[in-house]
Structure 1
Amino acid sequence: MNVEQARFNMIEQQIRPWDVLDTSVLGLLSAVRREDFVPAAHQAQAFMDLELPLGNGRSLLAPRVEARLVQDLNLSKRDTVLLVGAATGYVAALLAHKAQRVIGLESDAALAAVARNNLRKGGVNNAEIVQADGSQGFAAQAPFDAILLAGSVAQVPQTLLDQLKVGGRLLAIVGDEPVMQATLFTRVADGQLSRQALFDTVANRLSGFPEPSKFHF
């Protein structure tokens, strides 16, 4: 496989047509080697338009979804970001190039170790990985300028929304198959949030988040 050609094709054929037009994000996708964050068994699929399984029900998001989420979070180099669902560390690496500091939460101990190792090997010094239940956020370091959920949830817990600064943004894929929407929550004032649906997609569930009851009486 010609890795650089495959990377170019991923960007031009999958990601750019999905309205990822921010040149800084497109440049990151060329510079941060996605294949270094993909399990060895799936190296040949590193640039394909699909979610890659990581075991225990976890997966990497499709590249176009990762890129669109990073773009639409609209980060600045002053921002402190909380990433929920760090997986192998790829999204944390992308965010780290856009922000001042990234804290990645990963509930799976083995994945957390993989993410730490990948970030270290990639020379990413402003991102750290904490093994923790992401549904509770990370109150010890709150409030955050931005929070990103790297997977889908039925609904965003209030606990996470409460960890945003005024002006802070939380981006999550919300809903149930077959209808999910990437949704941007912004804390416009204390106790006041705005909510904006950005795009439709479907993504694997993040672990540890509550599912509403399917039974109604």
Structure 2
Amino acid sequence: MAYKFVDNYREQGARRKLVAHLETRGITDRRVLRAIGKVPRHFFFDETFWNQAYKDIAFPIGAGQTISQPYTVAYQSQLLHISKGDKVLEIGTGSGYQTCVLMELGANVYTIERQESIYQHTIKVLPGMGYHAHFFYGDGSKGIAAHAPYDKILVTAGAPFVPEILLKQLKVGGILVIPVGDEKTQKMVTVIRASETEFERIELDTFRFVPLVGDQAW
């Protein structure tokens, strides 16, 4: 299947408005805002719904999953403090929108998705857009130990706890960002690996994600 990507002045203008909106919501990292301004979010939508692409809302993508709200993507990305060349593990590829934002920030992204239909779609769409991440199909709650350790780990679904197996895959000095709570609402949690055995945990704002499903989750 061929994918046709068209990005014109209308969509570019809509992205600029979205970036301005995110600034009013407290996103201050200029690099994150520039990344949001570069990624054509409408490419992740059927053309019928392009008018929804630059609204600050989540949107269904099938298999019970959603493309995340732009504010949520920006919020999590800002917490990661990505440096160019960082090796980043993304748990939950989903549409691939967050993946693209991480790559615009200069990350070397390893991303895993458990929904096969979404995985098969994304591994075709993202390369067609010029984004060449390392794609994996499987249970993201267990991470990808074969390619560990990672500078940063991002979980894009709500977990009942922070999986220890993910902490073990994080470099010393690395950052894990994960929403933790019940199946309705979660607190955004940042975990910093201070040493081989010490971790600093910070709880932040409340969000609502789809559940993280797997051996180390729901």
Instruction: Output the TM-score relative to the length of structure 2.
Output: 0.88
Q: For residue 169 of structure 1, what is the aligned residue in structure 2?
A: 175
Question: 1:1-34 CA deviation, whole Å, 9 max, x = no partner?
Answer: 9423322222222x11222111111111111111
Quote the sequence identity (%): 30
**Native 8 Å contact 2:185 2:209 kept in 1:** no
User: RMSD of the alignment, in Å?
Assistant: 1.9
TM-aligned CA deviation for residue 178 of structure 1: 5.7
Q: For residue 89 of structure 1, what is the aligned residue in structure 2?
A: 96
TM-aligned CA deviation for residue 122 of structure 1: 1.6
TM-aligned CA deviation for residue 200 of structure 1: 2.2
Task: Report the more deviating stretch, 142-151 or 178-187.
Answer: 178-187
Q: For residue 118 of structure 2, what is the aligned residue in structure 1?
A: 111
Question: 1:77-122 CA deviation, whole Å, 9 max, x = no partner?
Answer: 1310000000121111111122341011011122112222222122
**How far apart in 1 are the matches of 2:83 and 2:126?**
20
- Which amino acid is the alignment partner of residue 135 of structure 2? I
Q: For residue 4 of structure 1, what is the aligned residue in structure 2?
A: 12
SS of the equivalent of 2:136 reads strand
**How far apart in 2 are the matches of 1:35 and 1:64?**
16
**How far apart in 2 are the matches of 1:2 and 1:41?**
15
**How far apart in 2 are the matches of 1:40 and 1:134?**
30
C-alpha distance 159-184 of structure 1, shift in aligned 2 (>3 A): same
Question: 1:133-192 CA deviation, whole Å, 9 max, x = no partner?
Answer: 101100000111100011211212111111101111110111126652111001100121
**Native 8 Å contact 1:105 1:133 kept in 2:** yes
SS of the equivalent of 1:43 reads helix
**How far apart in 2 are the matches of 1:152 and 1:178?**
9
Q: For residue 136 of structure 1, what is the aligned residue in structure 2?
A: 142
Q: How does 1:48-127 map to 2 (within 5 A)?
A: 48-125=55-132, 127=133
Structure 2 residue runs without a partner (length 5+): 1-8
Residues 1:201 and 2:202 aligned together: no
Structure 1 residue runs without a partner (length 5+): 212-217
Given candidates 24, 37, 43, the residue that maps to 1:30 is: 37
- Which amino acid is the alignment partner of residue 149 of structure 2? P
SS of the equivalent of 1:185 reads strand
**How far apart in 2 are the matches of 1:20 and 1:4?**
19
- Which amino acid is the alignment partner of residue 34 of structure 2? G
C-alpha distance 40-135 of structure 1, shift in aligned 2 (>3 A): farther
Q: Which has the higher strand share?
A: 1
**How far apart in 2 are the matches of 1:69 and 1:26?**
12
TM-aligned CA deviation for residue 41 of structure 1: 5.1
Aligned pairs, how many? 209
**Native 8 Å contact 1:169 1:186 kept in 2:** yes
**Native 8 Å contact 2:158 2:181 kept in 1:** yes
Q: For residue 27 of structure 2, what is the aligned residue in structure 1?
A: 20
**Native 8 Å contact 1:152 1:204 kept in 2:** yes
